[in-house]
Structure 1
Amino acid sequence: MITTPHMTDPDGFYAGWLAAHEGLTESASADLNARLVLLLANQVGDQAVLMQCIAAAAESGSAASAGSAA
């Protein structure tokens, strides 16, 4: 799993991602994110790497939730 910066234009990606959500309902936005995750997972293609990514995302989400509860 690559954890060091690996994108040539992360700000451009983020701007495009946000723009894709403009005008969407919360439900449509969640659907867009789910489709994006599946497309990106297909690009990665390595099950072990994908499982590491799931674990890392869950861990960082838990840390963020714990910090906001304090």
Structure 2
Amino acid sequence: MEGALRRTLNLSQPDDIYNAIVDAHKGLSDEEGRVFDARLILLLVNHIGDEAVIREALTAAAAAP
């Protein structure tokens, strides 16, 4: 395992990133939004490249309230 899932804030401008994600969905249907999300997730998973971290993130996301 290369590293553990980082759970502390790691963005200098998190609101800007959130707004960019929201803006990217503007004009998309629900289905197009889900396809966009899937593509974004796969791109980020590939960028992370650490299977242990990705699996830890999957577990954390499934356990979230």
TM-score w.r.t. length of structure 2: 0.90
The one of the two structures with greater contact order (alpha-carbon pairs below 8 A, sep at least 6) is 2
Cα deviations by residue, 1:29-56 (Å, 9 ceiling, x for unpaired) = 0000000001111111000000000000
Structure 1 gap segments, 5+ residues each? 64-70
Segments of 4+ moved more than 2 angstroms? none
Matched, 1:52 2:56: yes
In the alignment, which residue of structure 2 is the partner of 1:5?
Answer: 9
TM-score w.r.t. length of structure 1: 0.84
Is the radius of gyration larger for structure 1 or structure 2?
1
Over the matched positions of the two proteins, sequence identity in percent amounts to: 36
Tell me how far apart the structure 1 counterparts of residues 36 and 14 of structure 2 sit (CA, whole Å): 19
Please tell me the residue identity of whatever aligns with 2:44.
Answer: L
Matched residue pairs, number? 61
Tell me how far apart the structure 2 counterparts of residues 23 and 55 of structure 1 sit (CA, whole Å): 32
